[in-house]
Amino acid sequence: MRIALAQNNYIVGDIEYNLQLIKQSVAQAEEQDADIIVFSELSLCGYPPEDLLLRPDLYLIVDKALEEIKSLKTGVAMVVGHPRQDGEQVFNSASFIYQGESLLCYDKQLLPNYAVFDEKRYFTAATDCPVIDFKGVKLSILICEDLWFKEPAKVAKLAGAELILSPNASPYYYGKVEVRGKEMGSRARENSIPVIYVNQVGGQDELIFDGCSSAYNPDGSTVFMAAEMAEDFACIDFNQASNQLTPLKPSTKQFEEHEEIWQALVLGVRDYVRKNGFPGALLGLSGGIDSAVSLAVAVDALGKENVNAVMMPFRYTASISVEDARAEAEALGIEFDVISIEPIFDAFMEQMAPKLEGTEPGVTEQNIQARCRGTILMGLSNKFGRLVLTTGNKSEVAVGYCTLYGDMAGGLDVLKDVPKTMVYQLARYRNKVSPVIPERVITRPPSAELAPDQIDEDNLPPYEVLDEILEAYVEQDKSISDIVSLGHDEAVVRKVIRLVDINEHKRRQAPIGIRISPRAFGRDRRYPITSGFGRQFK
């Protein structure tokens, strides 16, 4: 039996577009004499559809598309994911369609409701694990979460299943490919049953789906892995007599760590811009490390002709910052403009002078600089339609080292889930591909350049220290004493945690950012803005 894996990049809610992708994949499967083609979880509507699932008209469109799939003149059986409404209940389903009929409709048993998942908000959990006999082979369908736990696969095996087909929509974070492979291999080995795993690929708002569809033999070994961060199509032969899977093409070479993260960011930017219909992107280029990396990601994602960078100098901007920004723009071949904020800032201060009389210059004046820049970028976005990319990294966003309606003004934050120390690593990785970031941008002390001779360490611990504390507190929920026990100064830990806690209001108003870690701000980490928790520890 030959099974085709269709690793497609769907658009949530665009059922007609997704239907065309499915049709194209079925045609490929026919060309390769496949018996079955497996699509990813909720392939017809895309994943995650969120509150689109609350719309009655969604199901009318989905049902119409399913009827069109059934009407296809093909000898290939299809496993298609879709939401299914049954009275007041909604199920996350996969239909086994063959020659105009739905021979089986499997409903997902285990509904994830943690991290970025909210499936219990929408779906009802099923309890049945049916097995279908197709051309003499007993098949079981298990959807995504069903395979992350032992029981569903065990029940399928006891019901006589000889092969598990698994549609998935498994979001990416760095290290996820290895974790996922270990789990899927375990299910195959525990039940001595081959597993074919089909994942979707592409960016959906802040989420990245990495693809890496795969196949596992009964001993748990990975016999095939599809492309990472790209669409792919492959066929796997199942030999019933030997209980073995054999791919018709070799696995795609997987990325190294920093290349993988870079490609995830590229995919996230490309799909957010493309799927939302923007003609391109623009960003403020400061001559610093964050905007340099963000620019390089944007150009790799969209092409140099679709990216515009604007340098907005002020009296505190070092001449080398202007030089480095221009060098970055020239290396990447993009449109580059220089617009001084000096007269704009002066106009603001002139109008506010009566109210500010008798006060000392400080953070207020620094933030006004940032807001002048944000206004320029948003004005250019309104005029030319390009999406403003913000450039704040996870470390800065965590402690509020950013300005509301200033450098936080924009539609997508490329580095929102990338710690500062990793930003440097990504810069060095990208320069190995081709030199686009001047060396002194990487080596000079980071600075917001909002005050004379300002550097980040005037206000923050060294980023090596800060990032370790943030990982422990934000991603691992460790307490103050736990973090201090890791070797950090208690006063520094308390300062960092206080900064994280009091800046929740900023993060709620920040643009979304591409998720690459197991615990990102936004969908993953949802803390109250108004909260007394932690006051007892001060």
Instruction: Indicate which residues carry an active-site annotation.
Output: 41, 108, 144
Q: Binding residue per annotation — 289?
A: yes
**288 in a labelled binding site:** yes
- Report whether 284 belongs to an annotated binding site: yes
Whether residue 183 contacts residue 157, with contact meaning beta carbons closer than 8 Å, is answered with no
Pairing between β-strand 137-141 and β-strand 131-134 as defined by DSSP bridges: antiparallel
| Structure-derived torsion over alpha carbons of residues 436, 385, 48, 119, reported in degrees to the nearest 10 | 110
243 belongs to an annotated ligand binding site = no
Q: Is 197 annotated as a binding residue?
A: no
- Residue keyed to tokens 């591409």: 514
Q: Please tell me whether 114 is known to bind a ligand.
A: yes
Characterize 280-314 residue by residue with b for buried, 16 or more Cβ atoms within 10 angstroms of its Cβ, and e for exposed. bbbbbbbbbbbbbbbbbbbbbbbeeebbbbbbbbb
Q: Give the three-class secondary structure for 215.
A: strand
Identify how many contiguous H helices and E strands the chain contains and give both numbers.
16, 21
The answer to the question of whether 304 is labelled as a binding residue is no
Among 224, 282, 252, 266, which Cα is nearest to 410's?
Answer: 282
> What does residue 487 show for φ and ψ, rounded to 5 degrees?
110, 15
Is 98 annotated to bind a ligand? Reply is no
Q: Is 23 annotated as a binding residue?
A: no
* Strand blocks (E) in 489-537: 512-513
Residue found under tokens 């005029």: 383
CA 245, 249, 250, 254 torsion-angle sign:
negative
Q: Say if residue 291 carries a ligand binding annotation.
A: yes
Element (H, E) at 195: strand 195-199
The sign of the dihedral angle between the CA atoms of 133, 136, 141, 146 is positive
Is 487 annotated to bind ligand? no
Return the structure tokens found at 147: 């395979």
Q: Is 400 annotated as a binding residue?
A: no
Residue 490: Cβ within 10 Å count: 11
Q: Which residues contact 283 (CB under 8 A, 6 or more apart)?
A: 291, 294, 295, 298, 307, 309, 310, 377, 388, 389, 390, 391, 410
| Residue 455 annotated in ligand binding | no
Report which of 449, 445, 387, 391 is spatially closest to residue 418, judged by C-alpha positions. 391
Omega before 462 within 30 of 0, i.e. cis: no
Residue 285 known to bind ligand:
yes
Query: Is 339 assigned a ligand-binding role in the annotation?
Result: no
Task: Compute the radius of gyration of the chain from its Cα atoms.
Answer: 26
Known binding-site residues for L-glutamine equal 114, 170, 176
Q: Which residue numbers belong to the known binding site for deamido-NAD(+)?
A: 367, 396, 506
Binding-site residue ranges: 114, 170, 176, 284-291, 367, 391, 396, 506
